[in-house]
């Protein structure tokens, strides 16, 4: 999958605001809403929180990938945020999360969502890539790390 079809500098934050899991989700949803990628921010937040209530999307190595499905989007949308210092996202390894990749899909589509997550996971597997993301000071730098 070409990440440039989903990501742009408007949906990336090198300085994500929030000190709690819910505040981080609010900031990520705001990125998508302010970029005109979602029709209803409240619906998007609700679908993300419902998914989180079933099982955390806090992975390991500082990565969290909150995601959900809703009719508030017509196609797969995504955003990226970096939170220096991290936030307790109930990660599987018990450590704070500081790299956040949110994706929201339409209710009736599965393929693009899986492809997007596979590509993101491939990029974040490398410790050097994660370190570059945490050192990035702008959305432009983060975009170039993900999209070349």
How does pLDDT run across 60-107, given as a tens digit for each residue?
999 999 999 999 999 999 999 999 999 999 999 999 999 999 999 999
How does pLDDT run across 95-136, given as a tens digit for each residue?
999 999 999 999 987 778 888 888 998 899 999 999 999 999
Q: Directed axis angle between helix 139-147 and helix 127-135, to 10°?
A: 160
Residue 79: name the closest of 128, 43, 120, 109 by CA. 120
By the 8 A CB rule, do 21 and 88 touch? yes
In the chain, what are the domain boundaries? 3-147
Per-residue pLDDT, 108 = 86
CATH number of this structure's domain 3-147: 3.40.930.10
């Amino acid at each position: 999958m070409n990440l440039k079809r989903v990501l742009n500098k408007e949906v990336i934050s090198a300085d994500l605001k929030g000190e709690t899991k819910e505040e981080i989700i609010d900031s990520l949803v705001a990125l998508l809403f302010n970029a005109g990628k979602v029709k209803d921010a409240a619906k998007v937040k609700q679908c993300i929180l419902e998914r989180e209530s079933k099982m955390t999307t806090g992975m390991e190595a500082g990565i969290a990938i909150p995601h959900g499905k809703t009719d508030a989007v017509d196609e797969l949308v995504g955003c990226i945020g970096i939170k220096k210092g991290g936030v307790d996202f109930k990660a599987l390894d018990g450590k704070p999360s500081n790299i956040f990749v949110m994706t929201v899909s339409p209710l009736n589509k599965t393929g693009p969502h899986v492809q997007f997550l596979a590509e993101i996971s491939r990029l974040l597997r490398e410790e050097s890539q994660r370190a570059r993301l945490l050192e990035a000071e702008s959305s432009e730098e983060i975009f170039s790390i993900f999209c070349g």
